[in-house]
Structures are given as C-alpha cells and as structure tokens.
Amino acid sequence: MHRLTLGLKLLTQPRRLAGCFTGPKVLVASVPKAGTNMLMHVLDLVPQLTIEGTLVRLPEAVQLERLRMLRPGRVVSTHMAPGVELDAILDRQEIKVLFVSRDPRDVCISLLHYIEREPEHYFHAGYNSLADGHARLMAIITGHNGNLSDGADEYLPSVEDNFRRRLAWLDHRRCCAVTFEELVGPKGGGDRTQQLAAIRRIAEHLAVRLTTRDVDLVAENVFSPRTSTFRRGQIGDWSQEMTAAHTAAFKRTAGQLLVDLGYEQDLCW
C-alpha cells in the first residue's frame, strides 16, 4: 500500500490507527489459489487491521525475518507450512494465524487459469509446453516433472502434495481455519449465514471487536472482482471444466483428500 494512502487511511479511521498500537499481529496461511486474496480483503475491511502485503514470492529466510519484525495490527500472507523455526517466531511474536482452504477441485481450476495468464509464475513456461488445456489441467491434478529448454527441471506438485503439506495448519495451536466456501457468501454461490458466522469466528480468534454493522459491511464487500487475482470466485467451478478423464485422475490422485476435508463422503461423485 502506498505510504500516503496508508497515512490518510489511518488518520481518517481512528480504530485502524489504534490497531497499529494494540491490534493483533496476523499471518494468513493458505494453499495457493484457495482464497488468500479473499481472506486478505476481509481483513482489510476490519477496522483494527492494516494489510502489509504478501510474503509469498520471497525466499523462506526473508519471509521468516519479515515475521520477526511484524508490527501490531499488521497482516501478511504466506504459503509456508508450519515448521519448527516458523512456530518459534509465531510464539515469540504472539502472531495469530488464519488458514484458508477450498475444495481442491476448484483450486485446480483456479490455478489452471492463473498460470495461463501470469507469465511470472514459475510453471508458466512448462504449462505452455503442454499440448492443450486437457493436458495442462491433468498436470495440475497429478503433478508434472518436465525439463525446460535450458535443461532445468520444472516441478509442479500434484494437488494432493500441494494440500497435504499445509494441512498441519488445521490443528495448529495458533490457528483458526476458515474455508473459501464459508467466506464467499451468496454472490459466489455460498450461504449468508455461514459467511457471517465465519467473519465472527475470525474476529473472535483475533480478539477484535466488530459491531453487527461491521460484520454486515464486511460480508457485503467480501466478493470483490477488483482484487488482482480474481477470476470468477464461484463454488463448484470445477464441474464445468473437468472431463471424465480429469475426474478419474483426481479420484486416483486425491480422492481421499476430498473425503478428509469434508467435500465428499466417498469416491462416488
């Protein structure tokens, strides 16, 4: 955020200014394309919090150093999984964590389109080397380990691997977990009651007071096509793009993952 814009925001919003001294330190953790920007947008609407930005593209050592210096009332995001060094920093700095997840099938579709339109994504070249959209989505589901023209390896983890290594956040002592489906609300195919409950749960975890009007205002503005990575933001988008072959591959690769996360009861979908 531009310094002048941030300064004006703080001066005109007393609760946000107070949050810079007494607000919680917040880390948003997620699986890539699972709703990070939506949750960050939610937190930007909380009067006591200020978005500092994302750590995602920084080396892990730099991310850890930034967390060591995180100030009260500030929010940053990461795709890191829990670990000994990270956990020690979270405890020492008293950083509260919010983890957002999403139906892994919808994550695959979102990632498919994101890599396509984002030249700086590390798999963009490998993605374009694949034959067609069918092959590209299959690579995102099952993983891909190919060689670039310069001989370097370009590895894309399977959706199963992508999720599993981050799911430790669900049981982490400093973490509150929410889902994309809870947060998106009616405009994205979700439920208003669940949306309001998720916002209140976030506020309770962060120990920030939100009035009924605050909660309603956040809910009304969660679904934001203005965010930089927004595409459609709809629940169940996968059913429009996955073929029978993709579905079969997903069941083989990550069928149990859907059951474990509560998106399906079995593999008969």
- Residues 12-58 have pLDDT tens digits of 477 777 778 789 999 999 999 999 999 999 999 999 999 999 999 89
Q: Residue 115: its pLDDT value, please?
A: 87
Q: Is the pLDDT of residue 7 over 60?
A: no
CB atoms within 10 A of CB 245: 12
Q: Any idea which of 9-18, 39-48, 57-66, 109-118 has the lowest mean pLDDT?
A: 9-18
**pLDDT tens per residue across span 148-169:** 444 445 678 999 999 999 999 9
Query: What distance in Å separates the CA atoms of residue 152 and residue 5, rounded to the nearest whole number?
Result: 42
CB atoms within 10 A of CB 181: 22
User: Taking all residues of the chain, what is their mean pLDDT, rounded to a whole number?
Assistant: 88
**pLDDT tens per residue across span 205-242:** 999 999 999 999 999 998 765 554 444 568 998 999 99
Query: What distance in Å separates the CA atoms of residue 93 and residue 71, rounded to the nearest whole number?
Result: 9
Q: Residue 20: its pLDDT value, please?
A: 81
Q: Give me the domains of the chain, ranges plus CATH numbers.
A: 3-104+163-221 (3.40.50.300), 105-161+232-261 (no CATH)
Q: Which long-range contacts (CB under 8 A, 24 or more apart) does 202-207 make?
A: 202/42, 202/43, 202/46, 202/98, 202/176, 202/178, 203/46, 205/96, 205/98, 205/176, 206/24, 206/26, 206/46, 206/49, 206/96, 206/98, 207/24
